[in-house]
């Protein structure tokens, strides 16, 4: 069953991620992880699919990831007990319309850019607890839908600050099963606590989310007694270059340096060359890096044990305009190589 | 453990709702359920709490419900393993700021007005599966925050249509524990599937959500073999008078009439007298009815077995303006009298 050590739930018999898929757009197709994607399009407005707007296009991309994941798992959508999905759109409509199309029992979640880790934490827990047999964890983001909602309409051509991050046009889907089956084992999950260090700059999400990543990592290491060097890599997502530098500094100050830290926002794009300012972000960013790079690496033997710590900035356009600071959250998923099952 | 029958998860050893609290505003204090509330205010702008806007006021109301629930459970917030919370604000910010204050490990959910049932389904599953020992399910809505976001600013004084529903200024919080403890047992949970019958009228949520309520009820009865008359009451929330009449019609047509149907949107207010058009709505409506009426009734012996089927309309202001139809979802929680534990 499961053992709780403070905030961390350790699975004695780990559930597994049996299949996964990553879908992305043009910029993602030009990035270093492109070969690991299951679907890439040069036109993420999907004019052939009669998507009338960016919001529908995002939902279509999410459906693509879900469908490819199911195909790789060798099952139909009717065999899925539950889907946990969320996205950045107000009221999570990209996921809602995806679930209208897929007709799978659905629990909507909201964790901003931490959503992939949040859905994995919940899905793994429900699979480990015997509540579901096959459960999907799913999320997406779309650059154009996010810019319109959180910043300025694209047509304004607003200048981006160097600390800004580029919302990925990407989706990731995972299909989890209970213990004893083939797949990448989920060894533990740690739900995050909200941290707010009074960052007000909507163009510096990395700084706003860093304290949440540090907090969750410190809680995980304290609860388990593990050290960063026990892992091939500690993946955060998506702090970008600004937040990643701050995290390294902070963890050194805490006495737990992170020599093997990687950030999904810095992995998805060639950061200096692709004009993404401080790196990638968006719920789809860490999801796509997970499904195009981390999980394949755990399957192939490139990685044997990693932490996946997706971070989210929990503000809205309303709270930003009201002058509120930006709370952050980070959820941690501990994954092992497929050979360890 | 848990037995799956189609979409329904039956708990052999049911987790329990050990404590709960309802908080509300002026209109709720004038309604028939007022005596069951744990906190009522005559000014839900909370000027004494330096709430600068309606959004912060909603978060404050949610915190009130959470704190009163913890007090009734006799525990501190540090003893809670996880909080599942969501609300209607874009990016669920009422819950995010509540969790910044409470500092409990937090998984954000979004289910629109179905959120209370969704958080209960997840919380009961995690408690039954041994993943968490003490878990909170929490949601809220605020009339003024919702009107501004979904319809027109209050200052416009826009006329409301007869099919419109009144978003409750209310919050509900439940503290769940694993099997074998004192409280109201959760016998089963059924996660809903998205239904969309092409209703486009943002002022007729009852019609938009009715198919989801019918679908979930039909799936529950088919999976379990139970009949509506096995229950003291089948509570939906919040179809209002329009959606409730449609549900009764639809269930009769399906051959499973609902003689003991009650709707949270019709219970919270004196519908004709309080000028709420078709009735109450909002994530806080069904949550407050659950915590002020249904759970106390299950504790006192007024009710012995009920279904709580909260419904949500999964649109946003963006999708509404884009001309999209309104998808609905309904999650079902089966509750028994406290004496049955």
Residue B72: the pLDDT is: 98
Nearest chain A Cα distance for residue B176, angstroms: 16
Q: What is the pLDDT of residues B277-298, one digit of tens each?
A: 999 999 999 999 999 999 999 9
Residue of B55, B144, B194 for testing the chain A interface, max A β-carbons within 10 Å: B194
Q: What is the pLDDT of residues A246-261, one digit of tens each?
A: 999 999 999 999 999 9
Q: What is the pLDDT of residues A22-72, one digit of tens each?
A: 999 999 999 999 999 999 999 999 999 889 999 999 999 999 999 999 999
DSSP single-letter state for residue B160: P
Q: What is the pLDDT of residues A332-341, one digit of tens each?
A: 999 999 977 5
Do the Cβ atoms of A108 and B99 come within 8 Å?
no
Neighbours of A26 (CB within 10 A): 14
- Which residues, listed in sequence order, are joined to residue B197 by a DSSP beta bridge? none
B84: confidence class by pLDDT, cuts 50, 70, 90: very high
- Which residues, listed in sequence order, are joined to residue B9 by a DSSP beta bridge? B4, B189
B1: confidence class by pLDDT, cuts 50, 70, 90: confident
If you count residue pairs, one on A and one on B, with CB atoms under 8 Å apart, how many are there?
Answer: 195
Q: What is the pLDDT of residues A203-233, one digit of tens each?
A: 999 999 999 999 999 999 999 999 999 999 9
Do the Cβ atoms of A327 and B131 come within 8 Å?
no
Distance CA B327, CA A262 (A): 39
Do the Cβ atoms of B96 and A125 come within 8 Å?
no
Nearest chain B Cα distance for residue A291, angstroms: 22
Distance CA A238, CA A243 (A): 8
Closest by CA position to B272, among listed B168, B162, B157, B143:
B162
Tokens 């958080």 -> residue: B119
- Residue of B90, B111, B130 lying closest to A108 (CB–CB): B111
Polymer length in residues for chain B: 341
Distance CA B290, CA B311 (A): 13
3-state helix, strand, coil in chain B (%, to 5): 40, 25, 35
B248: confidence class by pLDDT, cuts 50, 70, 90: very high
Nearest chain A Cα distance for residue B308, angstroms: 16
A151: confidence class by pLDDT, cuts 50, 70, 90: confident
Would the CA dihedral through B242, B247, B248, B253 be positive or negative?
Answer: positive
The answer to whether the beta carbons of residues B177 and B326 sit under 8 Å apart is: no
Nearest chain B Cα distance for residue A30, angstroms: 30
B14 in contact with chain A, both atoms CB, cutoff 8 A: no
Do the Cβ atoms of B7 and A318 come within 8 Å?
no
ipTM: 0.98
Contact list in A for residue B88 (CB cut-off 8 A) is 91
B341: confidence class by pLDDT, cuts 50, 70, 90: low
Q: What is the pLDDT of residues B92-143, one digit of tens each?
A: 999 999 999 999 999 999 999 999 999 999 999 999 999 999 999 999 999 9
Contact list in B for residue A327 (CB cut-off 8 A) is 96-97, 99-100
The answer to whether the beta carbons of residues B64 and B100 sit under 8 Å apart is: no
Q: What is the pLDDT of residues A69-93, one digit of tens each?
A: 999 999 999 999 999 999 999 999 9
Helix (H, G, I), strand (E, B) or coil at A210: helix
Return all residues near A192 (Cβ < 8 A) that are at least 6 apart. Answer: A114, A212, A215, A216, A329, A330, A331, A332, B105, B106
- Residue of A110, A149, A194 lying closest to B100 (CB–CB): A194
A99 in contact with chain B, both atoms CB, cutoff 8 A: yes
Contacts with A, B 53-82, CB within 8 Å: 53, 55-56, 81-82
Contacts with B, A 180-239, CB within 8 Å: 190-196
Distance CA B341, CA B336 (A): 8
Distance CA A289, CA A268 (A): 6
Q: What is the mean pLDDT of residues B149-164?
A: 88
B283 in contact with chain A, both atoms CB, cutoff 8 A: no
- Residue of B105, B112, B191 lying closest to A193 (CB–CB): B105
Q: What is the mean pLDDT of residues B62-70?
A: 98
- Residue of A108, A129, A314 lying closest to B130 (CB–CB): A129
Nearest chain A Cα distance for residue B17, angstroms: 18
B51 in contact with chain A, both atoms CB, cutoff 8 A: no
Do the Cβ atoms of A129 and B133 come within 8 Å?
no
Do the Cβ atoms of A106 and B191 come within 8 Å?
yes
A125 in contact with chain B, both atoms CB, cutoff 8 A: yes
Q: What is the mean pLDDT of residues B183-198?
A: 98
Nearest chain B Cα distance for residue A29, angstroms: 28
Distance CA B86, CA A117 (A): 17
Query: Which domains does chain B possess?
Result: 2-177 (3.40.47.40), 184-340 (3.40.47.40)
Distance CA A57, CA A52 (A): 8
The structure tokens listed for B124 are 């009961």
């Amino acid at each position: 069953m499961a053992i709780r050590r403070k905030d961390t739930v350790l699975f004695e018999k780990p559930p597994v991620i049996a299949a996964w898929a990553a879908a992305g757009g043009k910029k993602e197709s030009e990035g270093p992880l492109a070969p690991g994607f299951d679907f890439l399009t040069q036109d993420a407005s999907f004019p052939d699919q009669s998507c009338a707007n960016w919001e529908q296009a995002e939902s279509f991309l999410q459906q693509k990831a879900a469908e490819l994941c199911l195909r790789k798992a060798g099952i139909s959508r009717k065999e899925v007990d539950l889907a946990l999905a969320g996205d950045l759109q107000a009221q999570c409509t990209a996921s809602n319309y995806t679930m209208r199309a897929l007709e799978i029992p659905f629990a909507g979640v909201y964790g901003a850019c931490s959503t992939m880790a949040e859905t994995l934490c919940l899905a793994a827990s429900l699979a480990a607890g015997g509540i579901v047999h096959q459960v999907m964890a799913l999320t997406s983001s779309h650059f154009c839908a996010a810019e319109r909602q959180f910043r300025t309409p694209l047509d304004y051509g607003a200048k981006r600050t160097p600390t800004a991050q580029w919302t990925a046009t990407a989706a990731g889907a995972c299909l989890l099963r209970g213990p004893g089956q083939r797949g990448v084992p989920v060894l533990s999950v740690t739900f995050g606590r909200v941290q707010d260090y009074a960052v007000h700059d909507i163009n510096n999400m990395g700084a706003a989310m860093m304290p949440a990543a540090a907090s969750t990592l410190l809680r995980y290491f304290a609860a388990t007694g593990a050290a960063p060097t026990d892992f091939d890599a500690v993946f955060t997502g998506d702090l970008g270059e600004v937040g990643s530098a701050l995290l390294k500094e902070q963890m050194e100050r805490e006495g737990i340096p992170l020599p093997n830290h990687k950030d999904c926002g810095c992995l998805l794009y060639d950061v200096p060359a692709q004009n993404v300012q401080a790196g990638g972000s968006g719920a789809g960013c860490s999801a796509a890096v997970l499904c195009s790079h981390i999980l394949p690496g755990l399957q192939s033997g490139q990685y044997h044990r990693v932490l996946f710590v997706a971070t989210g900035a929990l503000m809205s356009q309303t709270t930003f305009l009201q002058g509120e600071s930006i709370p952050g959250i980070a959820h941690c998923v501990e994954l092992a190589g497929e050979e360890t099952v």
